[in-house]
Amino acid sequence: MREETRREAVWQFLTYGFILLGAVTTLVPLYWIFVASTLKESEFLSSTDPRLIPGDSFLGNFGALRARENVQFVGHVGEMTQYVDLGPVYFAYDFWNLWNMGAIESSIFIAGVYTILSLLLCSMAGFAFAKYEFRFKQPIFYAILATLILPIQLLVIPLFLLVSQIGLTNSYWAIILPWLANPLGIFLMRQNMRSIPDALLESARMDGATEFQLYYKIALPTMKSSLAALSIILFLFQWNLFLFPLVILDQGKYTIPVAINQLVGAQRVYYDQIMVAATLSIIPIFILFLFLQKQFVSGILAGSVKE
Amino acid sequence: MATRDSLPGPDPSVRDRLRFARQSVGELVPTPGEGIVGYVFLLPAFVLFGVFLAFPIVYTFYLSFFRFNGVGNDTLLWIDTGFLTYRLTSIADLEFVGLANYAAMFSDSLFHQALFNTTFILVVQVPIMVALALLFAVALDASFVRLRGLFRTVLALPVSANLVAYSTVFLLMMQDAGLVNYLLTSVGLPAIPWLTSSFWSRMTIVGAVTWRWTGYNMIILLAGLQNIPQQLYEAAEIDGATRIQKFRYVTVPQLRPVLLFVFVTSTIGTFKLFSEPVIINGGGAPLDSTITIVQYIYQAAFIDFRLGYASALTYVLIAIVSVLSAIQLNVGGESDA
Amino acid sequence: MSRITLDTVRKEFGSGGDKILAVEDVDLEIRDGEFLVLVGPSGCGKTTTLRCVAGLEDVTSGRITFGDRDVTGLRARERDVAMVFQNYALYPHMDVRRNLGFGLKLSTKLPAAEIDQQVEDVAEMLGIEELLGQKPKELSGGQQQRVALGRAIIRDPEAFLMDEPLSNLDAKLRSQMRTELQTLQHELDVTTVYVTHDQTEAMAMGDRIAVMNGGTLQQVGTAEEVYRDPVNEFVADFIGSPSINVFDATVDGARLDGPGEFSYHLSETDPVEGLRTVRVGIRPEDIQLVDNGIKLGVNVLEPMGNENFLYATLGEQEVTARIDPTNRPHPGESVSFAFDEAALYLFDPETGASLKTKRDGEVPTTPDSIPNREGVESTTGTGPDTGSNDDRMEETVE
């Protein structure tokens, strides 16, 4: 009996040790990004005395990052070319025009617009597949399903040619449009919408709802948690896109990954500035992650739904 | 009881009027027939899918039989109505080369190198990561563990880090005089040439990818673990199974489909590796020992502008991934009810 | 409020080779304000018929009219009917108030305040005023049921269509809601089509009952009609609980020879004229235990309190009888029974059509109160030796 409890204690100790080791290994690089962004380059690059306590150079590094000419990481107010005082709407319009977006705003803007539009498209397609009968439904669905296994980011070559032909090069739309009909999104929405009882839709039909009202008044509201989970998958997908934006976008429209890549690839690498950029790039997702932690987990799980 | 037409109540408010207006508009829109509604909902996604996914998949295959000479300029169609002229140009200026692009791969040593590097990373990284993810999941699933939610969140945190941003951090930490070597030397171990030796530079990539994705896979496995019926463990307990035996004979077989999913997605993920080697090893250094297939495709396509050859490479990659996934599904799917 | 007419309504699912005929040429008229129950085993086409009336399914051929209005080609939302679903189909993301008001909001031009007023009225009528702010998942089964009803009532439709609305409630609540529903329907006087697989519910609730089987309408009539005068063996078997005992018998003139010791002389031979065999049916309550009669081997006795169910065998045939609660034969024992010829059912062995049905008009159906001594006497045949019976039969016939 004694022996038993002693072994149990050792086992628990080992388990906790393992988990803690994993947690620390996970957190050190993240913490170090933050620490390094607050230090002078010489301070954190020193191999004899690496600092692990935040310093006070963050604003200085940030200033240096903003002052760079080849990469616009954070936006700034542009020159006021025209100003029409016609009330708040025009003020917003002017502000929009005046604000030169940097990589952070571009990334948030692109990922945000992409997420909203893709949610709309995927949920509509998923609704059609889940709740309607039409000819060629199965073949179309399986065609979309088959592309799930393809690394779709690999289709950059024809996409590049296509986008050039349409004249969308160096446009945000070139990054947003190609993956709007996200196969994973369509598949997940279809799976989840199958759980909406037919009687619910029929009931609404009897209540006088049109087919489109069924979609946005019944189906969408009941799918809230699935939509939240999917929105995280979509946002992260777009947020991490690197290859295609690298090919398509020109300086001044860079997204975060492309912008950081420019900093790394420059003649003289300013690591302090890179660390500020990395810190800034992690913050938005970090906040999103903390807020939507529960949906994030279910979102990842939704991605693993078996057929 | 509702009486439809008599309105003894108050006058309609603005919101009501808006609602009535919407109803009237709605009545004007013809309702599509039963077999049509599905198409209407599907249409937007289908068009985009066709243009930006189905077409590229087909066109990549087409391209792989050509040499790319430049962006298209040939006129395919010219409509001149007097007011308006419309010109449809070909998408690219191409020269048919048959199977030459595929044949060229056999003598392309850089491609072989890229294939080797990717395979090396795959063989080392995927098993290590899946094993780690499984161990973390089992550890977190243990009944005595407190703060499970917190640990789960912390371990999954790296997924939220931007691919390029975290790669940069690894680049910095793995410098000869970086944080990792500092820690190694301070406990009396020799410093490791993380970025300058071919072997260790690959291991750096392995480490970075493992750091980022272990937590993600752990969450999937954790969910799988929680779906294993508790009675199975109780039955094993009664039969006198040890902890290890329970893991071996209950957990692993029950988790098989989820493990399979994790293996397949991780394999596909490894074949897509691009950002990490580009940032950490500056595009294949040292001596192309870390160049991956996707990276090589990128070089061929957008630096050398050999789009036809790059397309052929893409298809070879797609073929490899499909075959590997099929094999994994077949091997792992056996004896699965 | 109106009469609903189904004119040779036919519904096929699928196309080409694997067509499934769900509803076959149903003719049915539901009177204005009537409570009609569509009953039948699962898969008999009753729900499909209801959904055709609702407009949720297109009919393959035939016509459906509400009053004089042909609604065959109209969609559900244009037909002005309300439906209550088996699982209630309450909108999970809306509270009770919005659930009730949703239909009015979509299909009428009533101002919001008026809709609100009607919601309050209906809620009060159903006694669910306190629940208006709650979401469906916070309600009990009975409360959800009321909200579903309220959602139908508030729209003041031409007809209520109900698809097994009580089957998800527990037994006690179900019988309570049964009464409540009937009272409500009576007050509102709205034509109602009610689908159920439960014949007890059908008997208890319907003004008339329509029995369906295999996609065809078997019989329409009041509870008493379908019970006492079923058109065929299926209806006789489906209506009544426990089910009627039916077995094969050979016809020899006026004599019927069945399983075990069963032998009986008909006083009326017209129904079996020209037949070699016939299907014989006896309702469990028409089996009377007597001292001298056809022998039964007792298997199980189920005491119900107010009566006992006796499960016994007649030769190879399982037989059920409802007997007096004071009568408690033990398993393994042997008892004798007799029955009244007026209570006898006879069915054609080929078509199943009824040849003779219950005619014991004046007699109440509880077995312990059948004092028809003549009948008892005439049927207390003594086993295989039926010679004396023959004579007596002839007497009775004359």
Quickly list DSSP for B309-324. HHHHHHHHHHHHHHHH
CA-nearest of C38, B162, C279, B115 to A260 is: B162
Tell me the per-residue pLDDT of A121-150, one tens digit each, with 9 for 90 and over.
Answer: 999 999 999 999 888 888 999 888 888 777
Q: Indicate whether A62 and A85 sit together in one domain.
A: no
The DSSP element (H or E) to which A172 belongs, if any, is helix A172-176
Q: Of the candidates A44, A67, A90, which is a domain's last residue? A: A67
- Report the residue of chain A nearest B318, measured CA to CA: A150
Q: How far is C105 from chain A (nearest CA, A)?
A: 9
* Inside any domain, residue A99: yes
pLDDT at C348 over 80: yes
Whether C107 sits inside 8 A of A204 (CB atoms) is no
- Peptide bond just before B286 cis, omega within 30 deg: yes
Range of weakest confidence among A187-196, B4-13, C238-247:
B4-13
The domains of chain B are located at 29-102, 103-333
Q: What is the mean pLDDT of residues C284-302?
A: 90
pLDDT, position B151 = 87
Q: What DSSP assignment string belongs to C330-343? A: PTT-EEEEE--GGG
Whether A26 sits inside 8 A of B211 (CB atoms) is yes
Whether B170 sits inside 8 A of A29 (CB atoms) is yes
Q: Which residues of C touch A199 (CB under 8 A)?
A: 85-87, 89
Q: Of the candidates A47, A67, A87, which is a domain's last residue? A: A67
Instruction: Note whether B286 contacts A: Cβ–Cβ < 8 A.
Output: no
Neighbours of chain B (3+ CB pairs under 8 A): A, C
The partner residue sitting opposite A200, judged by closest CB among C56, C89, C155, is: C89
Look at residue C324 and give its three-state secondary structure: coil
- Report the residue of chain A nearest C102, measured CA to CA: A207
The domains of chain C are located at 4-234, 243-397
Whether C266 and C272 have beta carbons less than 8 Å apart is answered as yes
Q: How far is B312 from chain A (nearest CA, A)?
A: 11
Query: What's the structural domain count of chain A?
Result: 2
Domain span including residue A90: 79-303
Locus of tokens 């750096």 = B204
pLDDT at C382 over 70: no
Domain B103-333: top CATH class: mainly alpha
Size of interface A-B (CB pairs under 8 A): 284
- For CA atoms C315, C321, C323, C327, the dihedral sign is positive
Whether A128 sits inside 8 A of B325 (CB atoms) is no
Q: Indicate whether A135 and A31 sit together in one domain.
A: no
Interior/surface letters B50-62, b for 16+ CB within 10 angstroms, e for the rest: ebbbbbbbebbee
Whether B101 and B312 have beta carbons less than 8 Å apart is answered as yes
Whether B31 sits inside 8 A of C108 (CB atoms) is no
Cα separation, A279 vs A268, in Å, equals 20
CA-nearest of C354, C348, C309, C312 to C328 is: C309
Please check whether the domain covering C243-397 is classified as CATH 2.40.50.140: yes
Neighbours of chain A (3+ CB pairs under 8 A): B, C
**Burial level of B199, CB count in 10 A (0-12/13-18/19+)?**
exposed
Centre a 10 Å sphere on the Cβ of residue A28 and count the other Cβ atoms it contains: 18
From first to last of its 337 residues, chain B has per-residue pLDDT tens of 444 444 444 566 777 888 888 777 777 666 666 678 889 999 999 999 998 888 888 888 888 998 887 766 665 556 666 665 555 556 667 788 888 889 998 899 899 999 999 999 999 999 999 999 999 999 988 878 888 888 888 888 888 777 777 888 888 888 887 778 888 888 888 888 888 888 888 898 999 999 999 988 998 888 888 888 888 888 988 988 888 888 888 998 888 888 888 888 888 888 888 888 888 877 566 767 788 888 898 888 888 888 889 999 988 988 888 888 888 878 776 544 3
Whether A162 sits inside 8 A of B154 (CB atoms) is no
pLDDT, position B268 = 85
* Inside any domain, residue A74: no
Whether A147 sits inside 8 A of B243 (CB atoms) is no
Q: In a mutagenesis test of the B interface, which of A154, A160, A216 is the best target, namely the one with the most B β-carbons within 10 Å?
A: A154
Reading the block at residue C142, the tokens are: 């009975």
pLDDT, position A83 = 53
Q: In a mutagenesis test of the C interface, which of A207, A217, A220, A225 is the best target, namely the one with the most C β-carbons within 10 Å?
A: A207
- Report the residue of chain A nearest C154, measured CA to CA: A207
Q: Which residues of C touch B20 (CB under 8 A)?
A: 109
- Rg, chain A, Cα only: 25
Whether C107 sits inside 8 A of A207 (CB atoms) is yes
pLDDT, position C118 = 93
Q: Which residues of A touch C91 (CB under 8 A)?
A: 200, 203-204, 218, 221-222
pLDDT at A265 over 80: no
Domain C4-234: top CATH class: alpha beta
> What percent of chain A is modeled with pLDDT above 90?
15
Instruction: Note whether A269 contacts B: Cβ–Cβ < 8 A.
Output: no
- Report the residue of chain C nearest B20, measured CA to CA: C109
Q: Which residues of A touch B45 (CB under 8 A)?
A: 121-122, 124-125, 180-181, 186
The DSSP element (H or E) to which C163 belongs, if any, is strand C159-163
Whether A205 sits inside 8 A of C91 (CB atoms) is no
Look at residue C306 and give its three-state secondary structure: coil
Q: Which residues of A touch C81 (CB under 8 A)?
A: 206
pLDDT, position A22 = 92
Q: Indicate whether A156 and A246 sit together in one domain.
A: yes
Give how far the C-alpha of residue B321 lies from the chain's centroid of Cα atoms, to the nearest Å. 12
Q: What is the mean pLDDT of residues A253-277?
A: 81
Tell me the per-residue pLDDT of C74-103, one tens digit each, with 9 for 90 and over.
Answer: 888 888 899 999 888 899 989 999 999 999
Q: Indicate whether A3 and A125 sit together in one domain.
A: no
Q: Of the candidates A67, A94, A116, which is a domain's last residue? A: A67
Tell me the per-residue pLDDT of A268-280, one tens digit each, with 9 for 90 and over.
Answer: 777 888 888 888 8
Q: Which residues of B touch A204 (CB under 8 A)?
A: none
Whether B42 sits inside 8 A of A158 (CB atoms) is no
Whether B2 sits inside 8 A of C188 (CB atoms) is no
Instruction: Note whether A210 contacts B: Cβ–Cβ < 8 A.
Output: yes
Q: How far is B154 from chain A (nearest CA, A)?
A: 6
Report the CATH number at residue A259.
1.10.3720.10
Q: Indicate whether A109 and A222 sit together in one domain.
A: yes
Whether A304 sits inside 8 A of B158 (CB atoms) is no
Tell me the per-residue pLDDT of C195-207, one tens digit each, with 9 for 90 and over.
Answer: 999 999 999 999 9
Look at residue C164 and give its three-state secondary structure: coil
The partner residue sitting opposite B9, judged by closest CB among C117, C125, C154, is: C117
Whether B160 sits inside 8 A of A236 (CB atoms) is yes
Interior/surface letters B311-332, b for 16+ CB within 10 angstroms, e for the rest: bbbbbbbbebbeebbeeebeeb
pLDDT, position A62 = 86
